[in-house]
Homo-oligomer: A and B are copies of this chain.
């Protein structure tokens, strides 16, 4: 058996939730995940699942910017595409512990994800 890298785990997680399969994504998340998200700290998988599940349906696509891996840490920069914007980037810095995502710092500009301009 080949051991999965932190990068493999994060890629699979990212592909799952951005593809709409939040449950699949959560298989790579630790029960005691701590996530610092804009304006809120999320503690535990249920809170994290609810947060991601609240955003995933708004996603219409995703465009990669860059990804990095260093030991147990992996960083993703990408454009989540929604009806409101396709040019507001997001960044995530994951820490893998025991094969799952144990910590995440998630950064995006909430103001850029407001409702689309009327018109």
Contact = CB atoms under 8 A, between A and B. Distances in A.
A30 interface: no
Interface string A79-119: 00000000111110100000000000101111110000000
Copies in the complex: 2
A38 interface: yes
Contact of A65 (B38, B90, B93): B93
Contacts of A112: 38-39
A4 interface: no
A66 interface: yes
A75 interface: yes
Nearest to A36: B89
Interface of A: 36, 38-39, 65-66, 68-70, 73, 75, 77, 87-91, 93, 105, 107-112
